[in-house]
Amino acid sequence: MPTPLPAAYFIAASGKAAALAGLDPADLAKEDFVAVFSGNAVPPRSVPLSAVYSGHQFGHWAGQLGDGRAILLGELEGPEGPMELQLKGAGMTPYSRMGDGRAVLRSSIREFLCSEAMAALGIPTTRALMLTGSPQQVVRETIESAAVVTRMAPSFVRFGSFEHWHYRGKQEELRILADYVIRDFYPELQGAENPYLELLAEVTRRTARMIAHWQAVGFMHGVMNTDNMSILGITLDYGPYGFMEAFDVDHICNHTDQGGRYSYSNQVPVGHWNCYALANALLPLIKDKEAAEAALDGYIDAYGDRFDELMHAKLGLGTVQEGDKALFDAMFRLMHENHVDFTLFFRRLGELRLDVLDNERTEADAPLRDLFLDRPGFDAWAVDYRARLRQENSQDAVRREAMQRVNPKYVLRNYLAQTAIEKAQNGDFSEVHKLLAVLEHPFDEQPENEAYAALPPDWASHLEVSCSS
């Protein structure tokens, strides 16, 4: 059962998430809704529960984990299907171990905003319905105030949910869990000769495609433990995440990750590793090691195909031609060497023109070119890029419009989140509301919000995020 939160108050709600749950967002600020979504009241038909799971953390077996501060209230039927509603930070559970079951305002704002920002970017993710706060103090590195984020998903079952029963030798419970997941979320697999093998294959493909989306927008999860991997292939558990700014292929967004296991460049292989951990847990049901390994091989193709598709779209290329990979590799190498801002580069790339005279090119390319210290290096790459565009008779206006639909102008940069957090810690939640509104339309120009698309200020380079929340 949730532990009541003293003097709970409404902070923010997502109208788009509310619609998915069949709720009226205008109701969420009302007293009775605040009571339910802060853990101070339980709806009459709700039977709250927390789930047990285990997992590999930073590559090492951690044993039993579980919902240490997450409490599932139940399920609501929405227009696109059932959605589970879960309170994060509503008090201790049987799996809290040494924790207090609470979440702090800082991390709750980050999860609330990023869940909705990722959804607006078209990336599979859990959703954030509502954010409530309380003056109750919570001890982390410092004393902070408590908050509860209500998050939603069709299911919160994780890779670690299967690992838990496998490592305990509980094959019947493992089968029950797998049958439940297949019946409710992968019903098309029920008639397969080996539905557990097909489940592994489909989850592997979904995971690969999700991570391709992460890489394409420069998103870094920060803690890709197997207990943070969704069996539905959706982004789960927003902790020390980050969006790439000055591009560094080996960037580590999580200050706790000293070894760089979850760096940007490692997200793809770690995702594959996690699928192997899931395969190992499902093997007693699959009963065919070679078939399981073949299913895991689908990860490489699924990732490669989706990432290639996304890169062609991001560069405004309507056809696939020999040499495209070399063009992409040269681009990323140049970006890495010059620490170019990831989001600004792709957004401004859409403004590059073919219909410009050679002697006017330097001035015309300046907004994009000036992101690079090695301007001759950029010029050389731009020559190859323009030649590639001409091969398919690309038209500037058409290409620009298409590229703006896939290259966001606005992402949740750490400094934007930090500004909203600091204001909220002083009782001003206006920046949380403002950021949510901006991030719900990441591809729109929004000239009135131009400041939210700017390069980060100098002080932002000192921001650190860690697993502590």
What residues are labeled active site? 227
Nearest to 185 by CA among 153, 228, 155, 205: 155
**Which residues lie below 8 Å from residue 179, measured CB to CB, with a gap of 6+?**
none
Cβ proximity of 192 and 286 under 8 Å: no
What does the DSSP 8-state code read for residue 319? S
Q: Which of 356, 188, 210 is nearest to 271 (CA)?
A: 210
Distance CA 358, CA 441 (A): 36
Take residue 355 and report the two structure tokens written for it.
Answer: 């219909």
Secondary-structure breakdown of the chain: helix, strand, coil percentages, each rounded to the nearest 5: 50, 15, 35
CA–CA separation, 234 and 331 (whole Å): 29
Angstrom distance (rounded) from CA 182 to CA 179: 5
- CA pair distance 343, 26, nearest whole angstrom: 34
Helix (H, G, I), strand (E, B) or coil at 1: coil
**What is the DSSP annotation of 138-196?**
EESSSEEEEEEEEEEES---BHHHHHHHHHTT-HHHHHHHHHHHHHHH-GGGTTSSSHH
Residue 453 identity? A
| 3-state SS, residue 306 | helix
Tell me how far apart the alpha carbons of residues 341 and 228 are, in angstroms, rounded to a whole number.
28
- Give CA–CA dist 49/40, Å, rounded: 15
Distance CA 351, CA 401 (A): 10
